[in-house]
A and B are shown apart, each in its own frame.
Chain A
Amino acid sequence: MTDSANDPTMTMPPAPLGGTEPLIDPHAHFHTPLTNRSDWARYNASRLEMGERIGIRCHVASILGSWGATSPTYFSSPHDQTRANDFMFGLADQHADRVRAFVAVNPNFTAHALAEIERGMGRGAVGIKLAAARRTTDFGLLDEIGAAAAQYGVPVLQHIWQHRRREWPNQEASDGVELARLAVRHPKATFLLAHIGGGGDWAHTNPAVLEVPNIVMDFSGSGIDRGMIDEALRWVGAKRLLWACDLTLCTGLTKLRALAYTGASPDDIADMRWRNAVRIFPAGTFDTALARALEAA
């Protein structure tokens, strides 16, 4: 009989479900007590606990206002967004080794947005989250956000509807073509095109952003179509793709496990898992997270 006290396999935590190599989720969300869901704390705890189990070293996260409680999720009022950002900054402070913050803004309130960005940078935010409150081709409002991103050297995470063929309710979404028009005006800023698995026709997005190198794309979203990752790799290459989860960690784990069957090299996979995130966010953003040991798998 094995003496469990002397058996190293009995004391080592199990390996992370997503493998032992570093992993960064650059598209995460949390909730606050000010949302309209009573289980906000359970939700936040679940993301952190299951993130550990998958092997996520760092969640780069935002909070979209009150998530609809007192203003719409994608059209948050300045007051709601300020409170949400405050909570997000506090959460990042509380979990400094595994959570970093985006400062989220509604570009319809330009002065407020720019002030929040400045305040956020002072509070340690590492990126700007743009909700779908205004089309990215509305340059009169978006240019100042793009300029701020370039000034602070942080990426802009932009909610995208892949191949938006009409208006969708509760948001003013943009698609890859529309983000590309903004991105070419701000070549010194990096735009993280959100969730190619998060709704719409992802096949449209690849050629739309091909020639705009300051757009990178994340894999997040509930969509797990076969061919989606393969096509993104074929069009834009691993250097412009970031693994991510958004609202569903389960599809994140699935896509992570699928990477090995896409033909991507180990180097490509490392880029998508974490190295591209290290590259697009400010220097040092992930130093603590990458140095820490996972609590439990």
Chain B
Amino acid sequence: MSATGTHQAGTPGRVDTCAWIGGYPFRDFPHPDPEVLVRVLEREGFTGGWVGHLPGAFHRDPVPSNRALYAALAPHRAMLAPAPIVRPDWPRWEQMLRDAVNEGAPAVRAYPTLWGLGAGHQCMAELALACGEAGVALHLTVRFEDLRQRHPLDSAGDLTAAHVRQLARLPGLKANLVVAGAGRELIEETHWGLTPPEQQRVFYDWHWVWGPPEDHFAHLLRTIGAERFAWSSWWPLRLTQQAQALVDLLPAGESAAAPDNGSTGFGGMHFAHGGSISPGK
């Protein structure tokens, strides 16, 4: 198996598309170290992970953060792939992207709301187009914490569906977009605001989607299709068991097939995987 998403035999693995190492500015959590992440991912059945550097999300210059990420993951590259930050309104951001490619990153992370970049900002468009040319996915994080508990200094706000739609609609876009931390509303507002070809560029994780008794996750699988969804752990911010819990609590014996998408039932779901989202890696 590999960190980017395929078993050696070529069958899809369960790749964690949203994990970080490092601390968080607004609260403490236990041991956010890569060697612990490796053990946790193995325990939870993941075959690899796309890993970001959490402190860097809150820094102005992401280069030192990326440097720290590459060094920290070096002993664990069989399991952990770097998903470094590329900040497109920063000088020489193209070099950040080249470095990411050279380090074998399957995806790069961007945090437009933390950088004050609104939906439709030209810099983000340039980054998305460059990601396509470089063969890496563009990873976007909706939020780090529940809105109700945020520190007063944590005032950037959530990523919006408009941010995602503007990127997915870019003419000539080749990159896939991975949206982590969205709930049902943002996913639906994005998906149903795109043309079918544009929809195919966007993948979501389901860590923040509600299961029973609301059953939002089951609803999304029926209406949007499992192939738009990718596994994630959200380590070290959230309990890693959540993605599996949501799958385990899908209604039994019920078909996920929407009349118009031909997808399989819950029993035969085919979620997206690292290899399908970032095939060049």
A163 contact set on B, CB distance < 8 A: 149
CB nearest neighbor in A for B236: A226
Query: CB-defined interface of A29-56 with B at 8 Å, one 1/0 digit per residue?
Result: 0000000000000111011011001100
How far apart are the CA atoms of A255 and B242 in the complex, in Å? 8
B245 contact set on A, CB distance < 8 A: 17, 250-251, 253-254, 257
B241 contact set on A, CB distance < 8 A: 253-254, 257-258
Query: A202 and B237: CB pair below 8 A?
Result: no
A-B residue pair count with CB separations less than 8 angstroms: 94
Chain A's nearest CB lies how many Å from the CB of B269?
Answer: 16
Query: B145 and A225: CB pair below 8 A?
Result: yes
A285 contact set on B, CB distance < 8 A: none
Interface size class of A (residues with CB under 8 A): 35 or more
How far apart are the CA atoms of A163 and B26 in the complex, in Å? 15
Chain A's nearest CB lies how many Å from the CB of B28?
Answer: 6
B60: interface (CB < 8 Å): no
Query: A47 and B212: CB pair below 8 A?
Result: yes
How far apart are the CA atoms of A223 and B145 in the complex, in Å? 9
Name, among A225, A248, A253, A254, the residue most crowded by chain B CB atoms within 10 Å (CB to CB): A254
A226 contact set on B, CB distance < 8 A: 29-30, 235-239
Given known A-B contacts A247-B214, A248-B214, A227 and B145 have beta carbons under 8 A apart: no
A264: interface (CB < 8 Å): no
Name, among B149, B248, B252, the residue most crowded by chain A CB atoms within 10 Å (CB to CB): B149
A106 contact set on B, CB distance < 8 A: none
CB nearest neighbor in B for A247: B214
List 30 contacting pairs A-B, 8 Å CB cutoff, sorted by A: A17-B245, A17-B248, A42-B215, A46-B215, A47-B213, A49-B212, A50-B211, A53-B249, A53-B252, A54-B249, A162-B149, A168-B148, A201-B149, A224-B238, A225-B27, A225-B239, A226-B235, A227-B28, A230-B30, A248-B210, A250-B242, A250-B245, A250-B249, A253-B241, A254-B241, A254-B245, A257-B241, A257-B245, A258-B239, A258-B241
- Give the interface of A toward B (CB within 8 A): 17, 42-44, 46-47, 49-50, 53-54, 161-163, 165, 168, 199-203, 222-227, 230, 247-251, 253-255, 257-258
List 15 other contacts, CB 8 Å, given A222-B210, A226-B29. A50-B213, A53-B249, A53-B252, A54-B249, A199-B146, A199-B149, A224-B238, A227-B28, A247-B210, A249-B211, A250-B210, A250-B242, A250-B245, A250-B246, A257-B245
7 closest Cβ contacts across the A-B interface? Answer: A250-B211, A46-B213, A199-B148, A50-B212, A227-B29, A47-B213, A253-B245
